[in-house]
Amino acid sequence: MPQYVILHHVGHGPDHWDLMLEGDRTLLTWKLYHAPEEILKKQIPLQRLPDHRLDYLDYEGAVSGNRGEVRRVDRGELQLLESRGNYRRFKLTGRLLVGEFEIVPQNETDCFWRMIA
């Protein structure tokens, strides 16, 4: 079963969280400036980042190139329900996030993420 992880990234620009969804051989990655539990209350903005290595599913610690540190705040199973273009609908089963969610693109890099009730 594919996995997802959310890492809290500090020490390189403003503190933020990285949402990473396991793809074929990489992690599809988005940056969020709101704590992930906010998604349970409202939609939050995301910024698409380049894909990351699968190593980040298990990694915590310093990021190479003096780019701060990451600490895992959530991890679990990912079930992709729909994917077309930059749109994603998926189910997460983790410690913090459980339910169905979607990422809706606004343009090439900016999206919003919301829980589907």
Contacts (Cβ under 8 Å, ≥6 apart) of 64: none
- What residue ranges do the domains of the chain occupy? 3-116
User: Does pTM top 0.85 for this prediction?
Assistant: yes
Q: What digits encode the pLDDT tens for the residues 7-57? A: 999 998 899 999 999 998 999 999 999 999 999 899 999 999 999 999 999
Q: Token match 């540190």: residue? A: 69
